[in-house]
Amino acid sequence: MDWTVPKRFKELPVFQVASISVSEIPGKSRVAGVFDSLDGVKEGPGYLLWWAPDFFDSVWGRVTQLSVDTREAVFLADAEIGDWNPTPGALRYLSDVRKPAQVWMISVPTWQFERRVFQGDDAFAVRRSPDAAPPPPTGEAVKFWLEITSAASPAKKRYYPNRDVPEGLVSGGWDHEHCELCGGHIDPGQVGYLDRGGNWACGTCYQQYIHPQ
């Protein structure tokens, strides 16, 4: 399974739950079950998703004790029993390469989008220590991170290694958005589609995955 391509809920591997119990690790629960297919499934971090009429949710955790022969596994959910309430039976597995919102955006028919022309926003720039963000994939040595925060949406932040920009308010500093589905830029003047969670989709992905013609 190619996780770089957006996946709808029905395309995800099924995890048939056999039991849910208290984990010996504090704050976690133990979900035992069997996958219908191991295509795209691996031990390590990921999500379990479930969807009932008018209700959908997910839980983060790790796939462990995965048997290639029987497809049985244990999912250690990062939540205590009682803190999450999955639909009984079959759940769906999502690799940590993707996020649940990316599945719901293209799977839930009632997911709402607003067509917008991205205009850009001001931003705040602050220097942070080298351990403020994960190491860059380029392997570049980090002396400091420049944290850019959207003035319009303070929860949105980006980190750039060693970028020499004066701290403080940066006019037009939030100069692009990323399409949640393909990762491409949505630049000022370009049309995008914004959902209620603040997730953007570019015009190409909107037509290909959300409302295919």
What is the pLDDT at residue 203? 95
Label residue 207 by pLDDT band (50, 70, 90).
very high
Sheet architecture: strand order including 113-117:
113-117, 191-195, 200-202
Per-residue CA distances from 139 to 7, 27, 150, 161, 163 (Å): 30, 34, 26, 11, 15
Domains located in the chain, CATH noted: 9-104 (2.40.30), 112-118+176-213 (no CATH), 121-175 (no CATH)
pLDDT tens digit sequence for 61-84: 999 999 999 999 999 999 988 888
What is the pLDDT at residue 63? 97
Q: Is the per-residue pLDDT at 191 higher than 90?
A: yes
**What 3-state DSSP class applies to 101?**
helix
DSSP state string for 147-213: EEEESS-TT-EEEEET----SEEEEEEE--EEBTTT--EE-TT-EEEEETTS-EEEHHHIIIIIS--
pLDDT tens digit sequence for 116-173: 999 999 999 999 999 999 998 888 999 999 999 999 889 999 999 999 889 999 999 9
**Mean pLDDT across 19-28:** 89
**Mean pLDDT across 82-110:** 88
**Mean pLDDT across 1-10:** 90
What is the pLDDT at residue 81? 81
What is the pLDDT at residue 132? 93
Q: What is the DSSP letter of 132?
A: G
